Amino acid sequence: MKKIMLLTASHLAVLLAGFVLGIYLLPILTAPVTPSAAQVQAVAGQSDFKGSFRRDLAGSDLLHWGEGEVSVGRHAIALMGKIAPGPDYKLYLVPEFVENEAQFLQLKSRSQRVGDIKTFENFIVTVPDGVDVAQYTTVLVWCETFSEFISAAKYR
């Protein structure tokens, strides 16, 4: 009986580890081609604002972080840098700087979802028509599935 319980526990542990690893690796394996430095620099050259993702934000940790320079323009937002891999990342414009989940959730209804982030080294996200980036101060990466703060950068 003890052997059956140990085998069951070990198999469940391996199954759980595989599931967690799958959630982490699947977005990496299915990610589209990363924008080149030249593509990101072209967007940055047309941007009105700049900010930086930093790893030392209160809501960032070993699995949820971003680093690099963010360029915010009327037509596109680009990152020259990296963000931690994960599923279902969304880019938001936020009316004031936040650095953790609780702060963002208080402002989420006043924030503007810009689009999906599918790459984890450099990204370019098109700003939808009718969105005025000058009405916001901060760009934020959010994992919608798990309600996890990834990173934020104040650009204004």
Tokens 């930086």, residue?
52
Backbone angles phi, psi at 126, to 5 degrees: -75, 135
Residue 36 token pair: 């080149």
- Please tell me the distance from the alpha carbon of residue 88 to that of residue 116, in angstroms, as a whole number: 7
Given this model, what pLDDT does residue 17 score?
Answer: 75
Task: Quickly tell me which residue has 């759980």 as its tokens.
Answer: 16
Q: Is 6 helix (H, G, I), strand (E, B) or coil?
A: helix
- In the prediction, which pLDDT does 3 show? 82
pLDDT in tens, the chain (156 residues): 888 888 788 888 888 777 766 666 656 556 668 889 999 999 999 999 999 999 999 999 999 999 999 999 999 999 999 999 988 999 999 999 999 999 999 999 999 999 999 999 999 999 999 999 999 999 999 999 999 999 999 999
- DSSP secondary structure string for all residues of 137-151: SEEEEEETTTTEEEE
Kindly state the helix (H) or strand (E) to which residue 114 belongs, with its residue range.
strand 112-117
What is the gyration radius of the CA atoms in the chain, in angstroms?
18
Q: What phi, psi does 129 have (nearest 5°)?
A: -55, 140
